Amino acid sequence: MRIAIICIAALLAAGIGAAQEAAEVSVRTLPPSVVKTVPASGDTEVDPSLREIRVTFSKDMQTDRQWSWCLHSADSWPEMDVSGIHYLSDKRTCVAPVKLRSGRTYALWINTQTYTNFRDTENNAAVPYLLVFQTRK
């Protein structure tokens, strides 16, 4: 509890708290966040025959071929068919076709501080999310 108070005090002292207080706080104005991934982040028993990665957001997204599936490192990037990336009709789930190998750890960013093409219909960039999983041997 004491840490939270210190953080709030630091924000207010920096003048950030006043600026945020003036902005409307609502589902419409705040950025979308990842609410589900397939496979789940942290899963260590992913079937290597899985042929797609799915990410579902908290809000309807811009679906006109806008996304930022981003590299964490070259050795943790799945083989991905970028021409097949698409959104489902729910407008919240983006699907990336992949080829996975057994016994590997994969890590990829859904948006980053620099690449922010996952955006909702109000043009708010999604909060960056690191998806990490491991395939079975």
User: In this structure, what DSSP letter does residue 22 have?
Assistant: H
Neighbours of 9 (CB within 10 A): 11
pLDDT of residue 24: 84
pLDDT (tens digit per residue) in 67-108: 999 999 999 999 999 999 999 999 999 999 999 999 999 999
Give the pLDDT band of residue 65 (cuts 50, 70, 90).
Answer: confident
pLDDT of residue 124: 96
Full-model pTM: 0.82
d(CA 18, CA 77): 41
CATH domain 32-134 topology: Immunoglobulin-like (2.60.40)
Residue 13 has pLDDT above 70, yes or no: no
Where in the chain are the domains?
A: 1-30, 32-134
pLDDT (tens digit per residue) in 116-130: 999 999 999 999 999
pLDDT of residue 89: 98
**Average pLDDT for 4-24:** 50
Neighbours of 77 (CB within 10 A): 15
